[in-house]
Amino acid sequence: MKLINHSNVIKKMKPRLMKNVIMRGLFFSATLFGLVILGILFYRVLTQGIGYLDFQFLTSLPSRKPENAGVYTALIGTVWLMAVVAPVSLLIGVGTAIYLEEYASKNKFTNFIQINISNLAGVPSIVFGLLGLTLFVRAMSLGTSVLAAGLTMSLLVLPIIIVAAQEAIRSVPSELREASLGMGATKWQTIVRVVMPAAIPGILTGGILALSRAIGETAPLVVLGLPLFLAFLPRTVFDMFTVLPMQIYNWTGRPQEEFQSLAAAGIIVLLVLLILMNSIAVLIRNKFQKRY
């Protein structure tokens, strides 16, 4: 008895294979789409902004005349912002991760913290701006200072650091902990001298990624009321300041073509900064990957 109608199968096989090849092509071009867009984006920004990019652009104050304008105050402001965000968010984030991974028992409260962190990661950045405006700018009357913006940004990137640090701590093998405890070390000694050194590459990578999110973010700072235009540098964390994305946003909003080219030049500076930070993250990851 013939169970399979061979001629029928052969007849149907060809269109099925054709379909496979065509769809493969479609899927591939969809993947290429993202890469092409990235290429166009970089090309556009480069051709638009390269003309304004020189040493003078990096060292000049913002100006009404496009040919004299520069990003000096904004660039220094971004460095100030990083100086506040990095320690604050790392301390709180790593602390939370150590607590959740090493101390907390698996109960409802821990579960609630965990769910809360993943929800916090989904809150739009502009809402963090509203929180910062009420809490830091008004209630603590910090004004539009480096500290107010830094604390707001720290809260914004906190979930990223916590999740990265948790993963890093979790990937430290438990044999290391047990060996340390077996040698008579206390829990805190084990954490500081055994777990942390092993987890530090993962934590640093996550920290750098979080920091690069913080320096590229604009929306919460607009809500805080950071000036779009500033001709002096902050001296302490309580001083007014502005950052690169704000300066770029300011130029983007002007109707004249020259200012949009300036915005593109500012973007190049910002992207170079981000690429540098990300390469450091990749370097750290590659250097310390899989030692166990």
Closest to another protein by CB, 61 vs 222, is: 222
Shortest spacing between CB 14 and another protein, in angstroms: 11
Residues 260, 271: Cα–Cα separation, whole Å: 16
Instruction: Give least dist CB 20 to another protein, A.
Output: 4
When the beta carbons of 18 and 235 are compared against another protein, the nearer one is 18
Query: In the chain, what's the furthest Cα-to-Cα distance?
Result: 92
Cβ proximity to another protein: between 73 and 247 the closer is 247
Q: Where are the alpha helices (DSSP H) in the chain?
A: 6-49, 55-59, 72-98, 108-121, 125-132, 146-170, 174-182, 187-190, 196-216, 219-224, 244-252, 257-288
With beta carbons less than 8 A apart as the criterion, state whether 178 and 261 touch. no
Nearest CA among 221, 205, 222, 97 for reference residue 151: 221
Stretch that binds another protein, among 50-58, 75-83, 197-205, 241-249 (CB under 8 A): 241-249
Q: Looking at beta carbons only, is 51 or 235 nearer to another protein?
A: 51
Q: At its nearest, how many Å lie between another protein and the CB of residue 175?
A: 22
- Pick from 69, 86, 158, 208 the residue near another protein by CB under 8 A: 158
Of residues 34 through 63, those in contact with another protein by CB under 8 A are 34-35, 37-38, 40-41, 44-45, 48
Residue 212, interface with another protein (CB under 8 A)?
yes
Query: What's the CA gap between 43 and 95, in Å, rounded?
Result: 42
Between CA 26 and CA 5 the distance in angstroms is: 32
Of the candidate spans 61-69, 87-95, 165-173, 231-239, the one that interacts with another protein by CB under 8 A turns out to be 87-95
Q: Is 125 in the site for another protein (CB under 8 A)?
A: yes
